[in-house]
Chains A and B, each alone.
Chain A
Amino acid sequence: QKEVEQNSGPLSVPEGAIASLNCTYSDRGSQSFFWYRQYSGKSPELIMSIYSNGDKEDGRFTAQLNKASQYVSLLIRDSQPSDSATYLCAVKAQGGSEKLVFGKGTKLTVNP
């Protein structure tokens, strides 16, 4: 059973702070990793994808991947109230399957 684990939160940070979201996965052969943001009542929106060990930055967002530790994280710098949402970590299994396995998500609240 391939699993993706996230701390459900809620995670609460003040405006302007750095929010750190973590995710671990069980399938050591996984190659593709994604972070989605989901506002309440809406569908997920892709924030970032990462495929190689290390950091990947896009604006205020940085994804970090450590395949040896089976760990992927998302940092949000200068957090804004509009960042308040549930963040879903998704992992694509190795091999030919296109399926994504989602974590249960971490609810982030950024307080003004």
Chain B
Amino acid sequence: GAVVSQHPSWVICKSGTSVKIECRSLDFQATTMFWYRQFPKQSLMLMATSNEGSKATYEQGVEKDKFLINHASLTLSTLTVTSAHPEDSSFYICSVRPSLAGPTDTQYFGPGTRLTVL
């Protein structure tokens, strides 16, 4: 399977600060990356689709001004949680769909970033 990395793997921050999470595709180029959030004992919820060179597409109910996404290259997407609050504490996971996936449109997940906002 493909290798996707995320950094940091965990972060603790104070309320009101901003946190940047990086997602890197190590094995292939990815035009599209996805950002998910998972609260304890719940399933993955798609937050946004990150498109290289263009604006991200956010899911309904996700504040685009709070969750800033930048997909500056074919191997890197970043998610910045601005003015984080305790309710933003969650497990943030990115996934990557290879640009040349063809019919096998599998998404490969990064290891996740656990954010705790105090």
Q: Identify the B interface with A (CB < 8 A).
A: 1, 32, 34, 42-46, 49, 91, 93, 97, 103-112
Question: Main SS of the interface on chain A?
Answer: strand
**Total interface residues on A, using CB and 8 Å?**
20
Contact A46 B42 (CB under 8 A): no
Q: How far is the CB of B54 from chain A (nearest CB, A)?
A: 14
Would B43 and A43 count as touching, CB distance under 8 A?
A: no
Complex: A44 Cα to B57 Cα, angstroms: 22
Q: How far is the CB of B105 from chain A (nearest CB, A)?
A: 6
For B112, the chain A residues whose CB sits under 8 A away are: 42-43
Once the chains bind, are A105 and B43 in contact (CB under 8 Å)? yes
Give bound CA distance, A110 to B43, whole Å. Answer: 21
Q: Give chain A nearest CB distance to B82 CB in angstroms.
A: 23
